[in-house]
Amino acid sequence: MQKLLKNEKLINILIPVLAASLGLLAGAIIMLFTGYNPIEGYSALFEGMFGRPKAIGEVVRAMTPLILAGLAVAFAFKTGLFNIGVEGQLLVGWLAAVWVGSAFTLPSVIHVPLAILAAAVAGGFWGLIPGFLKARFKVHEVIVTIMMNYVALHTTAALIKNYLYAGNERSQQINESASLTSSFLASITENSRLHYGIIVALLAAFIMWFILEKTSKGYELRAVGFNQHASQYAGMNVSRNIIMSMTISGAFAGVAGAMEGLGTFQSMTVMSAFTGTGFDGIAVALLGANHAIGVIFAAALFGGLKTAAPQMNFNANVPSELVQIVIALIIFFVASSYLIRWIITRLSKEGK
Q: What is the pLDDT of residue 340?
A: 67
Cα dihedral 311, 316, 318, 321, rounded to 10, equals 0
Over residues 75-116, the pLDDT tens digits come to: 999 999 999 999 999 999 999 999 999 999 999 999 999 999
User: What global pTM score does this model have?
Assistant: 0.93
Over residues 6-64, the pLDDT tens digits come to: 566 777 777 888 888 888 999 999 999 988 999 999 999 999 999 899 999 999 999 99
Q: Under 8 Å CB-to-CB from 109, ≥6 apart: which residues?
A: none
The stretch 210-234 carries a mean pLDDT of 91
Q: What is the pLDDT of residue 350?
A: 57
Q: How far, in whole angstroms, is CA 326 from its chain's centroid?
A: 18
Q: Under 8 Å CB-to-CB from 104, ≥6 apart: which residues?
A: 111, 114, 175, 178
Over residues 233-290, the pLDDT tens digits come to: 888 999 999 999 999 999 999 999 999 999 999 999 999 999 999 999 999 998 998 9
Per-residue confidence band for 291, with pLDDT thresholds at 50, 70 and 90: very high
Q: What is the pLDDT of residue 4?
A: 47
Per-residue confidence band for 1, with pLDDT thresholds at 50, 70 and 90: very low
**Three-state DSSP string of 29-41:** HHHHHCCCCHHHH
Over residues 145-200, the pLDDT tens digits come to: 999 999 999 999 999 999 999 988 999 999 999 999 999 999 999 999 999 999 99
Q: What is the pLDDT of residue 346?
A: 65
Question: Please, what is the Cα angle at 312 between 310 and 318, to 5 degrees?
Answer: 115
Is a pLDDT exceeding 60 seen at residue 224? Answer: yes
Over residues 322-350, the pLDDT tens digits come to: 888 888 888 888 877 766 666 666 666 55
Q: What is the pLDDT of residue 267?
A: 97
Q: How many contiguous H segments (helices) and E segments (strands) does the chain have?
A: 16, 0
- Nearest one of 108, 254, 103 to 178, comparing CA atoms: 108
